[in-house]
Structure 1
Amino acid sequence: MDYTIFAVIIFVVALLVVGGAFLIRPRRTETPPEPPAGEREGGAAGTATAEPDEETGERERAPGTAALAEAEAPAVPEIETPPPSAGRLVRLRARLARSQNAFGQGLLSLLSADKLDESAWEEIEDTLITADVGVTSAAQIVDSLRTKVKVLGSRTPEEVRGLLREELLAQIDTDQDRAVHTEPHPGAPAVVMVVGVNGTGKTTTTGKLARVLVGDGRSVVLGAADTFRAAAADQLETWGSRVGAPVVRRDEGADPASVAFEAVARGVDDGADTVIVDTAGRLHTKTGLMDELGKVKRVIEKKSRVDDVLLVLDATTGQNGLRQARVFAEVVNISGIVLTKLDGTAKGGIVIQVQRELGVPVKLVGLGEGPDDLAPFDPEAFVDAILEGGPEGAGTE
């Protein structure tokens, strides 16, 4: 027998045995670090918490400890308590007075002139038209002022201010019902639809209106029926979460009418006072979309009455906004106007013109970008702000 071959075989077998033993050797377990003193002493009772992980910042959950489960629960946003609607426009009056300085002071200056000839009256009328009062209303104001000035003869500044205030209030019509109807019905909530074109601040107005109502003690459900933009529903959820108002939404592209119906159904189930439905910012040139808006209203009425249809208009858009208003009024029977960005234009006369054009009152006005800068429209506070013509006489916010 060849001893050399035999030796080689024995050597190979020995290597295999030694290598196998090394591969199957149990891995040495590391001794876990000693827990903190507080955990050693109180861990059994579930009263202590583990140190947070260095990377994630999360604490290790101790089994059976309710305190730790609460600590790891997602944070619930703090519910805000908005201020009530009463007196909001008075608080924001200085802001309005600053924007209407040229309008109010210009009229007062012209009317206080020593001589009011034909040229002066034409300038007064032009000032009114420039402020978007409208041609018809401007002519009526001038005619009435001319008659009263002729009767009075001499005019003190106080008399001039009083005459102008009286005429502006007459054109705005202080007798109109400007309340947003949010009182619930037996077994069903009040329903408010918010409509308007893109860019007017419609979704923001919906969220701010929810704050107004919550501030007045109402419970609110929001319907995100602008299903053409997912961002609109996200925005509405942000507004709702801040005041504890649930939001009914569906995926982008869903049927807006079905979302509106579900929102009202949720309001009925929750016993909510008011449901506010935000609709898509439809272009008034697209007849199909406008027809769909009418469908939303009809579907809502299968569940509850629609108490208010608020058209949101940008006060800075002037005549273009009025054209939009006319088309919306033909489709959904507008019951009130919300004028946004009124603090950003000197053309406060738009309040008078839009009411004359549509035959419905301005109910709410936006006077800033803050969450509580939406206010119920108060004709007297509005006219007084115009005639104050500056922050020094407008009081404090």
Structure 2
Amino acid sequence: MSEKQGFFKRLFGGAKPEPEKPDVEEKPADEQAADTAAQPEPAAPVEPAEPAAPLAEEQAPPPAEPDEPPAPQEPGEPPLPPVEDLPARLEAVTPEVAATEDAGEPLAEPQPEPEREPQPAPEPVPAEDEPKQSWFGRLTSGLSRSSNALKDNLVSIVTKRKLDDAMLEDLEDVLIAADLGVETAMRITDALAAGRFDKEISDTEVRAVLAEEVARTLEPVAQPLVIDGKHKPHVVLVVGVNGTGKTTTIAKLAAQFRDDGKSVVLAAGDTFRAAAVEQLKIWGGRIGAPVVAREIGADAAGLAFDALDKAQAENADVLMIDTAGRLQNKADLMAELEKIIRVIRKKDETAPHTVLLTLDATTGQNAMQQVEIFRNVAGVTGLVMTKLDGTARGGILVAIAARHGLPVHAIGVGEGVDDLQPFDPKEFARAIAGSDTLQGAA
């Protein structure tokens, strides 16, 4: 501490601070004021340009006050740590590693923060204290953005006036803008014109006809995913672009299969994303399903082959294979998907028995192109539409059904296990057109 004290001496002109007089605090306030007035004002200190020899104590001026004077200390209190140690003390993040100067303890090496265990986005079981809502209630709530947007546009056109050609054209534009598709829009307007042309019509009547035509379009494609036991294991390959919910869809379906008493093996075939592998492992632990996984960047086709081998050895009922998300316009990634299918068929020439394409409803018309490409490359056998609760474009499912006629196995309107359910065309039609007026229309 001798060097630090010498520095302060040079900084303050070489004089020691005048010691405190203990009797100052014992004097009454009026006497202190009188003494203060009687004392002459000290002259301002002059800081020498270069360090000078210390002056005699009786000739030393009082030390100059710094810009930010230190807080007063009580007698017997340990000295404050020097300013030079401030960065080291600021780096101490816990009391255990912070060292005080008077204790003389060395600073401990900073410890790395422990890695947090990854958690899957959805919770498989809803909280017990939350009210249980029916599936139709969740569907109606999830499709509210789509139905409200459609309802508002219809009301703005149909204002209790007669149905004429101009109104039919406006209605057709609204239905196409709602992603219902040209074919569906034309059928709805033709049905309206057949018995109501040149007559007054309300938006309630328009939505009733809308529900009838939507249900009629969707009924042929509404088919649940059935595991009939003809193939053991029944191999389900799940494909789709990034962000459509492949991994969570696999977990939800696997949980439902286990609830039905079926044994399930999961394959973490998205070897490009560590998060997808970890997520599937956590889900597998929760539902009691073994997960076949490899290191990140491993060959997905080889992993699928090993997973099928394990599922056969364990006599599992279902094997569900996750795949990496890939854009439908990337030829190399689509070729890799073909390779996975070829390798699986070397072990079971009938596999995969189901090829599920997950579609994100928020992508709208882009989902139509995804169906075309994946159907040609991977032989898609059925669809799962997710995220219907996050968009006003839920009508795209109707347009896809009208054009492609592929089975729609399930739809999702949330992140919970119960928020993915088999597709019911009448419930969907009522929800998207307005359930309050369509109880009997669908």
Query: TM-score, normalization: structure 1?
Result: 0.70
Using the TM superposition, name which of 109-118 and 163-172 deviates more.
Answer: 109-118
Question: Match for residue 147 of structure 1?
Answer: 194
**Distance in 2 (alpha carbons) for counterparts of 1:191 and 1:314:** 23
Partner of 1:133: 180
Query: What residue is the counterpart of 2:79 in the other structure?
Result: none
Of the three residues 375, 379, 392, the one matched with 1:346 is 392
Q: Residues 374, 290 of structure 1: CA spacing in aligned structure 2 closer, same or farther, 3 A cutoff? A: same
**Counterpart of 1:331?**
377
SS of residue in 2 equivalent to 1:301: helix
What is the letter of the counterpart of residue 236 of structure 1?
Answer: L
Q: CA deviation at 1:148?
A: 3.4
CA–CA distance in 2 between the matches of 1:139 and 1:224? 44
2:227 corresponding residue in structure 1: 182
Counterpart residue number, 1:37: none
What is the 5 A alignment of 1:58-97? Answer: 89-97=135-143
**Could you list the per-position Cα deviations for residues 4-56 of structure 1 after superposition, in whole angstroms to 9, with x for gaps in the alignment?**
xxxxxxxxxxxxxxxxxxxxxxxxxxxxxxxxxxxxxxxxxxxxxxxxxxxxx
Matched residue of 2:406: which SS?
Answer: coil
> Where in structure 2 are the equivalents of 1:213-228 lying within 5 Å?
213-228=257-272
Q: By how many angstroms is 1:161 displaced? A: 4.8
Deviation at 1:229, TM superposition (A): 1.7
Aligned match of 1:116: 163
- Determine the C-alpha separation between the residues in 2 that align with 1:387 and 1:285: 34
Query: 1:262-321 CA deviation, whole Å, 9 max, x = no partner?
Result: 222222222221111101101222212101101212222233432211111111111222
Query: In structure 2, what residue type is equivalent to 1:217?
Result: G
Task: Find the partner of 1:232 among 276, 284, 303.
Answer: 276
**C-alpha RMSD over aligned residues:** 3.0
Is the contact between residue 257 and residue 296 of structure 1 (CA under 8 Å) also seen in structure 2? yes
How far the C-alpha of 1:254 sits from its partner, in A, is 1.6
Secondary structure class of the residue paired with 1:302? helix
CA contact (8 A) 1:192 1:276 kept: yes
Cα distance in 2 between the residues matched to 1:258 and 1:288:
17
Partner in structure 2 of residue 273 of structure 1:
317
Select the residue among 133, 147, 151 that pairs with 1:101: 147
Alignment of 1:286-365 (within 5 A): 286-304=330-348, 305-365=351-411
Number of aligned positions between the proteins: 310
Distance 2:167 2:427 in 1: 28
Relative contact order, CA 8 A, sep 6+: which one is greater? Answer: 1
When residues 170 and 154 of structure 1 are mapped into structure 2, their CA distance, relative to the original with a 3 A threshold, is same
Aligned CA distance change for structure 1 residues 375 and 88 (closer, same or farther; 3 Å): farther
| 1:389–1:333 distance in 2 versus 1, CA, 3 Å | same
Q: Distance in 1 between matches of 2:311 and 2:134?
A: 27
Unaligned runs of 5+ in 1: 1-78
Deviation larger for 135-144 or 251-260: 135-144
Report SS of the residue matched to 1:291.
helix
The residue matched to 1:372 in structure 2 has which SS? helix
The percentage of counterpart residues that share the same residue type is 44
Does the 8 Å contact 1:315/1:350 carry over to 2?
A: yes
Contact 1:145-1:167 at 8 Å conserved across structures: no
**Higher helix share goes to which structure?**
1
- Give the CA deviation at 1:93: 2.4
Match of 2:250 among 200, 206, 212: 206
Find the counterpart in structure 2 of residue 30 from structure 1: none
TM-score by length of 2: 0.63
